[in-house]
Structure 1
Amino acid sequence: MKNQTVIITGASTGIGKGITSYFLEKGSNVVMNSSNEENLKKTYESLGAPSNAACLAGDVSNPKTGQKLVALALEKFGSLDVLINNAGVFAPKPFLDVDESDLDYYFNVNLKGTYYTSQAAVSEMVKQNNGSIINIGTVLVDHAIDGFPSSAPITSKGAIHALTRQLAAEFGKHNIKVNTIAPGIIRSPLQGKIGVEDADSLAGLHLLNRIGETHEVAEAAYYLATADFVTGETINVAGGHTVGHAI
């Protein structure tokens, strides 16, 4: 991946920041995106304001944001090799309390954001007959939890899992690989945002009896970015979350 160009959405915090840091250390060119311009600038500076990174703030649910990200990648680095659709929102809410605004919120950011940004990237990857798209889903799509009611965001993430397979089928002939990473509980600011004060208290949801770290998701993303014979797959980075529990 050295000198290859990667677009990472939701790059300013949590998993996205971890992936960004990892790829920069490997010598990749990274186009960083976040809907929050201030957070994006702070993250860029905290990473040492690297010359092999460029920033573009924007809401991925707007199709123009994906187009601008691709244009920036080509203008600054001359190529687009990998897209990592990490930008997303997630919070629990009981099914009977979910209203139209909730569904619009999750589907706009999670599904439409992934969809539109992938459209922009694929249009360029088809020209070069090569590329890799990595979507971030969740193990909760395949392993629901009664005590964590989140039908709205999980439905939007489930759609991303399905989109991954369909795009892999449609664009395999163009050597474009499309895969999903499904994280378990990963240490990030997300836990605090959804009211989990002690993320480590959720360790028992994983057979390894601990929660994951952002660099472990980044390692999986790097593998998929370099894998030439893996497509249409969902890779669980979840410490055995979908297999059983350590309680």
Structure 2
Amino acid sequence: MNNVPKVAIVTGASQGIGAGLVQAYRARGYRVIANSRSIPPSNDPDVLSVAGDIADPAVAQRIVDETLAKFGRIDTLVNNAGIFTAKPFTQFTAEDYAANLSVNLDGFFNITQRAIAQMERQGGGNVVTITTSLTDHAIDGVPSVLASLTKGGLNAATKSLAIEYAKRNIRANAVSLGVIKTPMHAPETHEWLAALHPVGRLGEIDEVVQAVMFLESARFTTGEILHVDGGQSAGH
């Protein structure tokens, strides 16, 4: 059984951090299920692309069903899909609120519940969730109430899952980010965003990937909120 390749599900996998995680897990010999709302089929036979909105329970069920049909197991789930809407609190619309809760919370719940059920049957597994250090340390000039409401909830849920499933060999951790240089940030904003970090620069995708890979190997680590944020959570 030890010779059977492990299997990782990565949500939000079409670009940026998610695409970097797919490459990193493949480099470790994992088979990977890559999910995003819009993601092309993979040329790699050990990467299964499953398109669809993770906020839809039917999509989450399809991801798990197709994973088990093709690869037969689920060892790791990385909850990377998420959205961030920066608006003053009083300017959030009902649509903003619904979208943030749908992707950040419903998406997490839908896939994590199904993945952990399979991990229980296998006798173990690993869940990593990508959150934001704004939940620990709000920054003046960066309105983040919906991020704190949703991602802060994910940090709390991560600790609860870690305790609930510790004796069942299922670990749950989170990687809490500063601003990472991805396609979602226009180049003209980089200087301003870099100044939000005590280290004076943006984070790189590979630095997030390294943190997730550390948690993949850190078998005695569970319930941890690992900050990869250039010092933001420590202070300014």
Query: Match for residue 126 of structure 2?
Result: 132
Q: 1:206 aligns with which of 197, 202, 206?
A: 197
Q: How many angstroms does 1:207 deviate by?
A: 3.0
Query: Match for residue 110 of structure 2?
Result: 116
Q: How many angstroms does 1:9 deviate by?
A: 0.3
Q: 2:7 aligns with which of 5, 8, 12?
A: 5
Q: 1:16 aligns with which of 7, 15, 18?
A: 18
Q: How many angstroms does 1:103 deviate by?
A: 1.4
Query: Match for residue 179 of structure 1?
Result: 173
Q: How many angstroms does 1:199 deviate by?
A: 1.7
Consecutive unaligned residues of structure 1, counting only runs of 5 or more, are none
> What residue identity is the alignment partner of 2:40?
K
Query: Match for residue 44 of structure 2?
Result: 50
Query: Match for residue 30 of structure 2?
Result: 28
Asked if the contact 1:22/1:215 (under 8 Å) is kept, the reply is no
Cα distance in structure 1, aligned partners of 2:224 and 2:175: 8
Consecutive unaligned residues of structure 2, counting only runs of 5 or more, are none
> What residue identity is the alignment partner of 2:51?
A
Regions of 4+ moved over 4 Å: none
Cα distance in structure 2, aligned partners of 1:76 and 1:200: 44
Q: Secondary structure at the match of 2:44?
A: coil
* Superposed CA offset, 1:186-222 (max 9, x none): 0002223xxx733243223223322111111111111
Cα distance in structure 1, aligned partners of 2:160 and 2:176: 17
Q: 1:85 aligns with which of 79, 83, 88?
A: 79
Q: Secondary structure at the match of 1:198?
A: helix
Q: Secondary structure at the match of 1:7?
A: strand
Query: Match for residue 41 of structure 1?
Result: 40
Cα distance in structure 1, aligned partners of 2:62 and 2:217: 25
> What residue identity is the alignment partner of 1:41?
P
Cα distance in structure 1, aligned partners of 2:181 and 2:10: 19
Q: How many angstroms does 1:61 deviate by?
A: 0.8
> What residue identity is the alignment partner of 1:11?
A
> What residue identity is the alignment partner of 1:237?
V
Query: Match for residue 144 of structure 2?
Result: 150
Query: Match for residue 65 of structure 2?
Result: 71
| Closer/same/farther in 2, CA of residues 222 and 241 from structure 1, 3 Å limit | same
* TM-score normalised by length of structure 1: 0.89
1:220 aligns with 2:214: no
Cα distance in structure 2, aligned partners of 1:150 and 1:209: 20
Asked if the contact 1:137/1:157 (under 8 Å) is kept, the reply is yes
| Closer/same/farther in 2, CA of residues 93 and 70 from structure 1, 3 Å limit | same
Asked if the contact 1:206/1:244 (under 8 Å) is kept, the reply is no
Asked if the contact 1:66/1:121 (under 8 Å) is kept, the reply is no
Cα distance in structure 2, aligned partners of 1:112 and 1:50: 30
Cα distance in structure 2, aligned partners of 1:27 and 1:233: 25
Q: Secondary structure at the match of 2:20?
A: helix
Percent identity for Structure 1 against Structure 2: 38
Query: Match for residue 94 of structure 1?
Result: 88
- Tell which deviates more after alignment, 229-238 or 147-156: 147-156
- What is the Cα-based RMSD across aligned positions, in Å? 1.8
1:168 aligns with 2:168: no
1:197 aligns with 2:163: no
